Amino acid sequence: MTKGADIIAAIILLALAIAIIVYLLHWLYRRSSKEVSFVRTGMLGEKVVISGGAFVLPIIHNITQVGMRTLSITIKRGGDKSLITKDRMRAELVTEFFTKVPPDPRAVSTAAQTLGNRTLDPEHLREVVQGRFADALGEVAAKMTLDEIQENRGAFVKQVGTIANESIGHTGLALETVSIISLDQTPIEQFNPANTFDSQGLTQLTEQIESRKKKRNDITQDTKISIENKNLE
């Protein structure tokens, strides 16, 4: 009878021990997901977990989560903030940038150090990178005329992507693609005659507009005279 009781007690203790181990594993073992990786720091140094898991001991370890989702950032440049091109025109541009932390241990580690949990918040992340993307647009636009941007959108996007990717590289982020949603000349009313760049662009626009008006008028008058001569004949 005593032997049977001992066996039952041993089974109960074993089951209890297994339950405690399972609970501890569930509590201490952290897994990453496709959308969120993490970096564990503390005892045994840094460990980057992208696809898998790791034990995280309270007090001894600290973790920083890193978002792995692709972020879409729309940059709009219009009005007094429109881009000034090489020929001193103003261009209204709407572009979309797609960026993310690539599934690379070094990139994830860098993003954890420089951005921290902001990679989980799209709005905070936009605040970090949108200024750099806007600067890249302005830098490339200053090297191309408005017509060149329109006719060589691929080259424009490629140059912008190269500069933008370099500007965010130290954060752990990487640029995936850049696309132009819309491109147009800024209305002439937005040009400021007191601004050096705008005054040059305004002069060119005025000359072009008046030249086209004269050309249209010449065509109209020539056509009218041709009709009258034909009727006279």
pLDDT in tens, 5-45: 667 666 767 767 676 666 666 667 888 888 899 998 888 78
Is residue 87 predicted with pLDDT exceeding 80? Answer: yes
Burial of 35 per CB tally in 10 Å (0-12, 13-18, 19+): exposed
Give the containing element (helix H, strand E) for 84. Answer: strand 83-84
Round to whole Å and give the CA distance between 215 and 185: 22
Q: What is the CA radius of gyration of the chain?
A: 32
Burial of 96 per CB tally in 10 Å (0-12, 13-18, 19+): middle
pLDDT (tens digit per residue) in 59-71: 888 888 998 889 8
Mean pLDDT of the chain: 81
Give residue 140's pLDDT: 94
Identify the band that residue 46 occupies on the pLDDT scale cut at 50, 70 and 90. Answer: confident
pTM for the whole thing? Answer: 0.73
Give residue 202's pLDDT: 59
Handedness of CA 3, 4, 9, 10 (dihedral sign): positive
